[in-house]
Amino acid sequence: MPYNTAGAYSDALDNITIRHRAYQETYDELASLLTIADRNPGSIIPLLAPTRCGKTELLADLRKQCETVRQAPGMMLDSSDFAVGRISAKPNDRDLYCAMLSALGISSGPRDRTSVVRDRLIEFIRKFGIRVIALDEASHCAERGANLSERAAGDHFKTIVDETGVTLILAGLPRFQKLIDGNEQFAARSLKTVSLLPYSWSREEDRQSFNEAVQAAFMCLEEAGLPIDLAPEDAVRRLYGVSGGRVGVVLKVLRTSANSPDLQQLSMKQIADAALATVQSHVPPKVYFEETPPSDRDLVNSYFDVMTDAGLDVELSALQDLAAAQGV
């Protein structure tokens, strides 16, 4: 008999990592670049993707698999050589150093000058033998309203890798690339940019990979005891439309739909209600849950919206080829 405690089913998705194709390929590429960075101290690895593509989960996974845990000098407890943190919105010069220091589990005084925080960070990276610092939300440095110039942000990151030999993984939205391109010294220390992109509906391989990721999520819910009352192919189309090919958005919607009190089975109506409550998009999510399923053209357009919002190039030929195949 399925249990019906509120939140019990959504917890089944909180505690798993779906290693779909794009995720695994990106993970493997990052792990390979880390090996290169280990032989080239002071490297920077950019990880860029539209929102809700899985950057945060990927960093946590990479740390778990690639860290070395040992007792640092003068420390009672074991510590990792792989730190993960995030950059605050509208950062200033000091905030960048504070973010890296916080990733090491160390706070700074509110009145400490930027130079003091920077020197403390350098000291602790050396003292603890920190090998990697991964920072999420790095694109905050390239957003309008940031309290430092793009040039200055690049110079601060360059200073840390030059002084310590640490590897920085800087994860964020694709707009961060302009910060790299606009600072030749920062670019010179950067390895290739790694991209984690949504699945494209116009590519058969991507459609299959997206379908496999969605089915894996459904399987997790079923294994937790939740019956699924859905037509699989129809559910995949509708979830693609509302997510634009982003598995992270699918998981967000399914977690929300599985979080209803006294839930006995998962239906399309519950998924639709969850999408309406949690997803912002140019096209109202309800469009993808009408009686008539979304067309292939609707799904291609959903992907294009995600890519253009992220400032990424799209394959215009894909839409043209699809239209030609449909006789449009």
CATH topology of domain 40-195: Rossmann fold (3.40.50)
Residue 3: its pLDDT value, please?
44
Continuous segment of H or E residues that includes residue 62: helix 55-66
Sign of CA dihedral 191, 57, 312, 202: positive
Distance (Å) of CA 223 to CA 3, 226, 251: 12, 7, 16
- C-alpha–C-alpha distance, residues 284 and 157, integer Å: 40
- C-alpha–C-alpha distance, residues 82 and 130, integer Å: 6
Q: Is residue 83 within 8 Å of 127, Cβ to Cβ?
A: no
- C-alpha–C-alpha distance, residues 221 and 266, integer Å: 9
The residues, ordered by sequence, that sit 6+ positions from 66 with a Cβ below 8 Å of its Cβ are: 31, 34, 82, 132
The backbone torsions φ and ψ at residue 91, rounded to the nearest 5 degrees and listed phi first, read -75, 155
Residue 160: its pLDDT value, please?
97
Residue 26: its pLDDT value, please?
97
Strands 69-71 and 78-80: antiparallel
Q: What is the mean pLDDT of residues 20-43?
A: 97
Sign of CA dihedral 101, 124, 81, 131: positive
The single residue listed with the structure tokens 């992270």 is 248
- Give 2's pLDDT tier (boundaries 50, 70, 90): very low
**What amino acid is encoded at 1 in this protein?**
M
Residue 288: count other Cβ atoms within 10 Å of its Cβ. 23
- C-alpha–C-alpha distance, residues 201 and 299, integer Å: 6
Q: Where in the chain is the domain with CATH 3.40.50.300?
A: 40-195
The backbone torsions φ and ψ at residue 18, rounded to the nearest 5 degrees and listed phi first, read -90, 110
Global pTM reads: 0.90
Model confidence over 300-318: pLDDT tens digits? 999 999 999 998 888 765 5
Above 80 in pLDDT, residue 325?
Answer: no
Model confidence over 163-201: pLDDT tens digits? 999 999 999 999 999 999 999 999 999 999 999 999 999
